[in-house]
Structure 1
Amino acid sequence: MLVKVEGIVLKAKDYGESHQILTLFTKEQGKLAAMARGSKKTKSRFSAVTEPFTEAQFVLFTGGSGVATLSQADSLDSHHPIRSDLLLTAYGAYWLDLLDKCTEEREPLPPLHRLLSALLKRLEKGTNPEILTRIFELRILKLAGYTPVLNHCVICRRDRSPVRFSVRQGGFLCEECQERDPEAIPVSAATGKILPVLERIPVERLGEVKVRPETEAQLQQIVRSFMQEYLPFQSKSLNLLEQIRATWIK
């Protein structure tokens, strides 16, 4: 049976001398594997649509739950500016890795597909990649069922200004409740305002983002600490991103 899907290439694995198995994240069917026969050949009609980040319309021949076969593909956006920049490639690869690890085969998630597509477009247009990454990490946490409490104090449930973030308790702590977790991370006023916005804002409505370096670092510390505690895997692509980023900003 032939099916037409709109998808983003998460990764491509060599298969034999001339083929590749693509992992696609599609709007209609979620994540699935597709064999691109002959895609490694110089004159292959599929060579332009097998690179990670590529968005395309794919026509697949599928006979069930196994690996589909790529029959036709028309590129929608190659995202070449991302692949031509080492740091942007590292950010994008981390996002794709997170998504791959946190999604099941053939589980349609159209909002997540739209989010990834929008984030890739913003990444190549120069939006702060750290802010885009926090947005994606928070949505992945929500998908995994581990949403931190960011709209009120996680202990007293009152709408008070946060002064700390407790990984153990799972959210913001107000001044009166901060002693419930001596290891909680300090939260500045700016971080307390920005983090809940990043959790819910549509990427299309994200304006020019200017964040102080200390606020940016605190946002990263909070979200990454929470992820390390609750997500059951380690990301090699994150380690690579941090190495490249450390070299880049020197």
Structure 2
Amino acid sequence: MRKETSKGVIVLGTTKMAEFSGIVVYRKDYRERDMLVKILTDRFGFKMFFVRGARKKGFRLSAAILPFTKATYIGTINDEGLSFISAVKEASQYQAICQDIILNAYVAYILGLAEAAFNDNHPLNEWYIKIEKAISLINNGLDAAIVTNIVEIQLLGRFGVKPNLRNCVICHDNTGICDFSESYGGLLCQKHWHLDPNRLRLDRRTIYFLRFFSQVDIMRLGSINVKEETKDKLRLTLNQIYNNDVGVNIKAKKFLDDIKKWPHIVLNDDR
């Protein structure tokens, strides 16, 4: 049955001809001449697209299917299985991200985390805008580690893990010194530290940023400076929460963890 909606989408059963925006997550070779391209779309969530002839020299849409490309596409969207791209209206790359292996890894991790949180074929709604903004901030020079921390903390709820970072989980006091307790699922004020001998024993600055990152509107985020020591503690804390309570395995995350082992001179070469 053919039906045109108010948004200009032509529906043919479970197939939709649509215009949509998206960010290329990754691509992989398929058969001799084709490619499969995973795109985070603004209207349909994560979708896998079959692109015929993408490996041929001079392919007309080649620039629009490069990883970390943002574009407006026209194509066939299937509710299940592969979808198809027929045309591209405009496309641009996140240049700074494409040229920096570390920024590349941070963005790959953010996209991988979002994919794990939402799965394929589920619209992200406001989270598409947040992810797009996070990538733009990283591309424009904001600290990639901090932007990633914000996304990690605010995505926890999508995994069914939402620690109370506003106040003490026992008495709801938010004025005193607090620490984080995995057992109690959030903050414990100093009066209740005795309840959890395994609390994380975080310093006040780390707790401050955990609380701030859980509430900050990423759409309004400006410059932010965090000491390297605090960034390391934030990283260890979020690693512990994700490893113990979430359990997702994102390939780019291992690379980011391995970066810490690289010689300092390598990390700062030509930067």
Shorter-chain TM-score tier: over 0.9
Q: Is the 8 A contact 2:38 2:46 kept in 1?
A: yes
Cα deviation 1:67-98 (Å, max 9, x = unaligned): 11111123443112201111111111111211
1:241 to partner: Cα distance:
1.3
Deviations 1:136-170 (A, max 9, x none): 11122122221111000123322243432112221
5 Å-filtered alignment, 1:69-84, equals 69-84=84-99
Q: Distance in 2 between matches of 1:229 and 1:9?
A: 30
- Letter of the aligned partner of 2:138 in structure 1? L
User: Where in structure 2 are there 5+ consecutive unaligned residues?
Assistant: 1-15, 266-271
Instruction: Give, as a single letter, the amino acid of the residue that structure 2 aligns with 1:130.
Output: A
Among 19, 23, 39, the alignment partner of 1:4 is 19
Q: Distance in 2 between matches of 1:150 and 1:127?
A: 24
| Bigger radius of gyration | 2
Whole-Å separation in 2 of the counterparts to 1:59 and 1:152: 47
Structure 1 residue 49 corresponds to structure 2 residue 74:
no
SS of residue paired to 1:13 = strand
The 5 Å alignment of 1:22-171 reads 22-171=37-186
| 2:24/2:39 contact within 8 Å kept | yes
1:189 aligns with 2:204: yes
Q: 1:177 matched to which residue of 2? A: 192
Matched, 1:229 2:227: no
Q: How far, CA to CA, are the matches of 1:202 and 1:33 in structure 2?
A: 30
Partners of 1:68 and 1:163 lie apart in 2 by 49
Do the aligned residues in 1 keep the contact of 2:130 with 2:219 (CA within 8 Å)? Answer: no
Alpha-carbon RMSD: 1.8
SS in 2 for 1:9: strand
Query: Aligned with 1:24: secondary structure?
Result: strand
Shift of 1:178: 1.2
Residues in 2 aligned to 1:205 and 1:63: alpha-carbon distance in whole angstroms: 35
For residues 194 and 253 of structure 2, what CA distance do their matches in structure 1 show?
32
Which structure 1 segments of 5+ residues have no match?
Answer: none
**C-alpha contact (below 8 Å) 2:22/2:73 kept by paired residues:** yes
User: Larger relative contact order (C-alpha < 8 A, sep ≥ 6)?
Assistant: 1
> In structure 1, what is the equivalent of residue 231 of structure 2?
216
2:9 aligns with none
DSSP 3-state at the match of 2:104 = helix
Does structure 1 retain, via aligned residues, the 8 Å contact 2:150–2:213? yes
Deviations along 1:166-215, one digit per CA (max 9) or x if unpaired, are 12221111101112221211222222222222122222322221111222
Contact 2:242–2:248 (CA<8 Å) still a contact in 1?
Answer: no
Per-residue deviation, 1:102: 1.8
Match of 2:203, as an amino acid?
A: S
Question: Which residue of the other structure, out of 25, 34, 42, is the alignment partner of 1:19?
Answer: 34
Contact 1:165 1:171 in 2 (8 A): yes
| CA-to-aligned-CA distance 1:43-84 (integer Å, 9 cap, x gap) | 112211222221111111235422111111234431122011
| TM-score (normalised: structure 2) | 0.86
Give the drift of 1:27: 1.2
Tell me the SS of whatever aligns to 2:116.
helix
Structure 1 counterpart SS, 2:71: strand
Q: Does 1:246 align with 2:261?
A: yes
Any runs of at least 4 consecutive aligned residues in structure 1 with deviations exceeding 6 A, and if so which? none
Shift of 1:108: 1.2
Q: In terms of mean alpha carbon deviation, does 116-125 or 59-68 score higher?
A: 59-68
